[in-house]
Amino acid sequence: MTDQDQFLDVIDRDEAEARFRAALVLTPIGSERIPLTDALGRVLSADVLASVDVPSFDRSNFDGFAVHAADTFGASEMSPKSVRLRQESLDAGTEPTLVLASGEAVMISTGGMVPRGADAVLMIEDADIQGEQLAIRHAVTTGFGVAFAGTDIATGETILRVGTVLTSRETGVLAACGENAVDVWIRPRVAIVSTGNEIIAPGESMRPAHVYDSNSQVLCDAVRESGGLPDFLGIVRDDCNALRTMLHAALAHSDVVLLSGGTSKGRGDLCYRVVAELTGPGIVAHGVALKPGKPICLAATDGKPVVILPGFPTSAIFTFHEFVAPVIRSLGGRNIESRETVEATMAVKTNSEIGRTEYLLVSLVKTDRGLMAFPMGKGSGSVTTFSRADGFVTIPRHTEIFDAGQHVDVRLIGSGLTIADLVVIGSHCAGLDFLLSQLQRNGITSRLMTVGSSAGLAAVKRGDCDLSGIHLLDAATGEYNRPFLADSVDLIEGYGRRQGIAYRRGDVRFEGIDVLRIPSIVMDSDCVMVNRNQGSGTRILIDRLLGGAKPKGYAVQPGNHNAVAAAIVQGRADWGMTIESLATTNQLGFLPYQEEQFDFAVSKSRRNRPAVQAFLALLSEAATIRRITELGFNLARFPKPQ
């Protein structure tokens, strides 16, 4: 076997699923009887028939008087009817011993048992007690005010059917019928193993070239959401013998086995080699024409599923939901989950790779033109993409382009769609992060997409968002932001901040120099920069400083200031432009370059929205001003240059 084999049989997604399911036994794995107190969220394995009537007696619906309805006919405020009032009182929980005769009434409480002879209950406010007589001022019909025995549930009636997922509503019905235990499907046990020499457990100290194991946590919780019992067996290094031992131990006590990572055919990817040793039938698909998730490996042994999920987080969780979650639901007696679909419009042009079905994760924003779908665009290695996405668009394998403005169907992730109260598209800033966190504490949710000042301002003009954080310098006037506004857009004054060149302290190439010397210094082939994304205000400053030069690292263009600082701290780059507050936080050296104004653009048509008004109010609060100042920002607006 070579160090870098290629996928031999990359197949269509539907064919892969068909092969996989054909190799499995997909009937529920068994039934068990459990106490009702433990039944929430479980799935009934048998119909439940009522063993009693509910209610089990004729019950009064309110405080009043048990009567013969015929004795009330013709009664009114002006012409009341009179009957003899018995001295007994029928309280809830007391079985009456009397038989009510015609011309009699007896006081009864809500929930009280209606006595023999009575056929209605008169509300207490519709009668007056006059000694031993009751003056009836309102006529009632037979059955009024009475819940007759068995009218809710009758003995022998099927109250819940097999396959029902028990929520608080169903458990309440079961309790009302006197059930204290129910028959439910056994939850499938799912063994989860993380693999790879680079994986370390959360809580350990980060080491170079390592990553925290996020897959095991998200998979364990996804298994629970699918009705299974996760069993995380730990992290196994890239060792065939250790993997083989762990795999067979997992198969011995689990109904499903999930391995995370090692599904490709590189030198260190050993999982598929160990799984390939299984028989009956063993591997049924290795390599599926979809994105994300091409390397997934689907196998079965004696009807039991074994799946190697890709190591990248988004690929792992996406392929889990596509291939594994339906299997877990079937083994646990649950119906296959149907995902809600909504119509939206693509916000930007999107290219896809011919030959692979692509699942494009998108964020949905409610705009003046309806729902807009914004591609997440962080790749399968991102740990946040799936968690922040609202849904996904399926791009067929023979489609290369989805144009901006094209109508698409978005399959939602999770139950329902919750639209954020405030949508912000534009430039990133630590001060803006603080403001949005404060709004969240006040119960106002937000959605932030950092695409740069220029794209953000364009989104405001189109009505695609509520606010845009911008810091655009007009070279002709030297003024920030205002020259770029349209008549339909207002400017909300924000705060000042300082941009400059960040570097690792002690780097003699940068210590104490004039920032304008940067272009002559950074062209050294050993000096690597980290850039910013096209269209951002920071990118405009960088390009102005460099005067057309493109040093090594120029093509590396992260979308926010934090990523710039991280690249320098970790040694992946030697310098980059960021804001002073982040350089200080990360203990980096800083060469000031430009005092700038970070403001907020808002469409005039949206300015009076409650969430926008809450944002404006927050900006003026004393506590906000104090904290923004502590973060290193300046609330005094920079004067316009003369």
* 458-486 confidence digits (pLDDT tens): 999 988 899 999 999 888 888 899 999 99
What average pLDDT does range 227-255 have in this prediction? Answer: 92
The answer, yes or no, to whether residue 598 has pLDDT greater than 50, is: yes
Looking at residue 263, its pLDDT comes to 53
Q: Are 336 and 326 in contact (CB under 8 A)?
A: yes
Q: Where does the pLDDT of residue 637 fall: very low under 50, low under 70, confident under 90, or very high at 90 and above?
A: low
Q: How many CA atoms lie within 13 A of 619 on its CB side?
A: 19
pLDDT digits (tens, 9 = 90+) for 287-308: 888 888 788 999 999 999 999 9
**Residues carrying CATH 3.90.105.10, the chain:** 31-54+152-185
CATH number, domain 59-147: 2.170.190.11
DSSP class of residue 211 equals E
Q: Where does the pLDDT of residue 608 fall: very low under 50, low under 70, confident under 90, or very high at 90 and above?
A: very high
Q: Where does the pLDDT of residue 6 fall: very low under 50, low under 70, confident under 90, or very high at 90 and above?
A: very low
Residue 585's closest CA among 605, 607, 569, 601? Answer: 569
Q: Where does the pLDDT of residue 40 fall: very low under 50, low under 70, confident under 90, or very high at 90 and above?
A: very high
The answer, yes or no, to whether residue 641 has pLDDT greater than 50, is: no
Q: Are 65 and 138 in contact (CB under 8 A)?
A: no
Three-state SS for 393-435 is EEECCCCCEECCCCEEEEEECCCCCCCCCEEEEECCCHHHHHH
**Residues carrying CATH 2.40.340.10, the chain:** 341-419
Looking at residue 193, its pLDDT comes to 94
Strands 575-579 vs 529-530: parallel, antiparallel or unpaired: parallel
Q: Are 563 and 556 in contact (CB under 8 A)?
A: no
| pTM of the predicted protein model | 0.75
For domain 446-630, the CATH architecture is 3-Layer(aba) Sandwich (3.40)
Residue 233 to residue 254: CA distance in whole angstroms: 11
Residue 582 to residue 500: CA distance in whole angstroms: 11
Of 251-255, 412-416, 573-577, the one with minimum mean pLDDT is 412-416
**Residues carrying CATH 3.40.190.290, the chain:** 446-630
Nearest-10 crossing angle of helices 610-620, 622-630: 70
CATH for the 31-54+152-185 domain, from 3.40.50.620, 3.60.40.10, 3.90.105.10, 3.40.50.300: 3.90.105.10
Residue 493 to residue 626: CA distance in whole angstroms: 16
The answer, yes or no, to whether residue 496 has pLDDT greater than 50, is: yes
Q: Where does the pLDDT of residue 639 fall: very low under 50, low under 70, confident under 90, or very high at 90 and above?
A: very low
Q: Which CATH superfamily is domain 13-27+187-328 in?
A: MoaB/Mog-like domain (3.40.980.10)
Q: Are 469 and 453 in contact (CB under 8 A)?
A: yes
What average pLDDT does range 428-443 have in this prediction? Answer: 90
Backbone angles phi, psi at 414, to 5 degrees: 85, -170
Looking at residue 382, its pLDDT comes to 53
Dihedral angle over CA of 382, 401, 265, 231, nearest 10: 40
Of 267-276, 506-515, 561-570, the one with minimum mean pLDDT is 267-276
pLDDT digits (tens, 9 = 90+) for 383-421: 566 667 888 888 888 888 888 889 999 888 766 677 889
Residue 407 to residue 500: CA distance in whole angstroms: 42
Q: Are 408 and 373 in contact (CB under 8 A)?
A: yes
Looking at residue 27, its pLDDT comes to 92
The answer, yes or no, to whether residue 106 has pLDDT greater than 60, is: yes
| H/E segment holding residue 370 | strand 370-375
Q: Are 467 and 609 in contact (CB under 8 A)?
A: no
pLDDT digits (tens, 9 = 90+) for 516-553: 999 988 888 789 999 998 878 889 899 999 999 999 99
Q: How many CB atoms lie within 10 A of CB 33?
A: 10
What average pLDDT does range 424-436 have in this prediction? Answer: 90
Looking at residue 198, its pLDDT comes to 85
Higher pLDDT, 360 or 220: 220
Looking at residue 377, its pLDDT comes to 63
- Contact partners, residue 300, CB within 8 Å, separation at least 6: 20, 23, 24, 280, 281, 282, 284, 306
What average pLDDT does range 612-617 have in this prediction? Answer: 94
Residue 245 to residue 249: CA distance in whole angstroms: 6
* Residue 212 bridge partners (DSSP): 200
The answer, yes or no, to whether residue 284 has pLDDT greater than 80, is: yes
Q: Are 66 and 118 in contact (CB under 8 A)?
A: yes
The CATH topology of domain 341-419 is Beta-clip (2.40.340)
Looking at residue 259, its pLDDT comes to 93
